[in-house]
Amino acid sequence: MTRQLISSGSPFERQVGYSRAVVDGDWCFVAGTTGPDSDGFYPENIVTQTRNALAIIKAALAEGGFGFEDVVRATYYITDAGLLGCHWRATGRRVRRHSPRRHLHRVRPDQTGHEDRNRSHSEKEARMSITLYGIPNCDTVKKARTWLDTRGIAFTFHDYKKAGVDADRLAAWCAAKGWETILNRAGTTFKKLLEADRTGLDEAKAIALMLAQPAMIKRPVVEYQGGLLVGFKLPEWDAAFGT
């Protein structure tokens, strides 16, 4: 029976003594894979981490003559159940369409065996706070801010018309809720675009448009511990904040 050992080039494979994947006959077994960038550090964004890990796995499978369509079982580990939606969307287009058997495990950060040294203090604080993204003169944003204020719910307001939105965060929102939800196609800013910009939309094009003109982002967007809200829908807000 033919056996093939596949390496991704990671120094840990040599130091610890394992292969990224092992092909044994008609089967390919892929080792547990995390999602560091090329410099070895882990992105703060779970979407980017997931995509990095899947890229490593895809390359290992391809070297053995396999693809995602051949996957029969996949196991995932996450440390925050609130990130589940982002995780599912990040894996969806690459893995879910092939419908492998999947297992999801939630573990504490200190159970992962990875050091937390490159995680910023601001990220840790963000998990304990609420950030509302919008534009001050938007009526819906005003209603949302008043709703939080009258209930004594502390939050940070981010004016993305002035401060903008970073690409990773916008990609995470689109991964969690879908770019169709995040892009406000009913707004004046979008309607004023040239027809060529308004047609042939996909996620990449939508993100580029929103980065160039943040006023096209649906308002408000709220990040809170355990989830993400888009728009101001009272049943969703009541459920999120327990009011």
pLDDT in tens, 76-99: 777 766 666 666 666 765 665 555
For residue 94, the model assigns a pLDDT of 61
Question: Measured between alpha carbons, how far is residue 241 from residues 39, 40, 76, 111 in Å?
Answer: 38, 37, 28, 29
* 144: nearest Cα among 161, 132, 156: 132
In a domain, 116, yes or no: no
Residues 82 and 184 in one domain: no
Residues 233 and 126 in one domain: yes
Lowest-pLDDT range, 96-110, 169-183, 209-223?
96-110
Element (H, E) at 181: helix 179-182
For residue 239, the model assigns a pLDDT of 84
Supply φ then ψ for residue 212, to 5 degrees: -70, -35
Report how far residue 51's alpha carbon sits from residue 34's, in angstroms, rounded to the nearest whole number.
10
For residue 77, the model assigns a pLDDT of 79
Q: What residues make up the domain containing 87?
A: 3-111
Q: Is 174 a catalytic residue?
A: no
Q: Which residue has the higher pLDDT, 113 or 69?
A: 69
Domain's final residue, options 72, 90, 111: 111
pLDDT digits (tens, 9 = 90+) for 120-137: 434 444 444 789 999 999
Q: Which of 28, 86, 138, 174 is catalytic?
A: 138
Domain at 38, CATH number: 3.30.1330.40
For residue 241, the model assigns a pLDDT of 78
> What are the tokens at 134?
């919008």
